[in-house]
Amino acid sequence: MPKIVDHDEYREVLLDKCFELFARNGFAGATMREISKSLEISTGTLYHYFPNKESIFKSMIFQISRKQVLILNDRFKRTKSIEERVEILFQYLNSNEEFFQNVLFLVIDYYRQNGSNDPENIIQEIADYYRKSIGELIGLGDTVASSAILTFSLGLIMQSVMVPNSVDRDDQILLIRTLISTFLNQILKVA
């Protein structure tokens, strides 16, 4: 009897495994042949699930992003105040710093390779997804404030790359959290 395969589930497994390869080699450094070898599948099987490397990249980035947002959503269920939600967000970013650095590096590497020649506009889509998700998680909707939080988050991730052993990192995170919480409370009072 032939083996029954849940293709959607198998596709997710393949995408999870791809993240390590892309994180290690970058977008430009991963070929379809290398990807199939790393996944221990034939290139034909890989092409059956994904027409090209861009498709793998886009699906992978969105899959891992959705998983991160679901984890945060679960943590936010027990909170009510904006201050708590902002604190949880930045604690999560800080405790998963290497992962988010890898995501950011991959997005930057993809942009360096494709830039304005990105027909699917993957970079814009992923930024929109994170901005919208942050807004929904914190309770702001898709607003300018959500964009500001995303910008602070990206800045914090980049700062940890540029100054990896910053002695005042915890103080910086506390200051950013306080600024954002104060800002958001003021916005909500006005609205």
- Output the average pLDDT for the chain: 86
Domain contains 46: yes
pLDDT on residue 191? 57
Domain contains 1: no
pLDDT on residue 67? 93
Domain contains 158: yes
Domain that holds residue 36: 7-190
Domain contains 2: no
* 189 compared with 111, residue with greater pLDDT: 111
> What is the CATH number for 118?
1.10.357.10
Taking the model in full, what pTM does it have?
0.81
Per-residue pLDDT reduced to its tens digit, 51-82: 999 899 999 999 999 999 999 889 888 877 88
Domain contains 89: yes
Is 168's pLDDT higher than 90?
Answer: no
The number of domains in the chain is 1
> pLDDT confidence of 4, banded at 50, 70, 90?
low
Is 154's pLDDT higher than 80?
Answer: yes
Of 145, 106, 155, 150, nearest to 128 by C-alpha is: 150
Question: What whole-number distance in Å separates Cα of residue 90 and Cα of residue 169?
Answer: 12
H or E stretch covering 132: helix 122-138
Per-residue pLDDT reduced to its tens digit, 92-140: 988 898 999 999 889 888 888 877 677 678 888 888 999 999 888 888 7
Phi-psi region of 6 (alpha: psi -120 to 50; beta: other; left: phi over 0): beta
> Cβ atoms within 10 A of the Cβ of 47, count?
13
Q: Coil, helix or strand for 22?
A: helix
Place of tokens 């409370």: 185
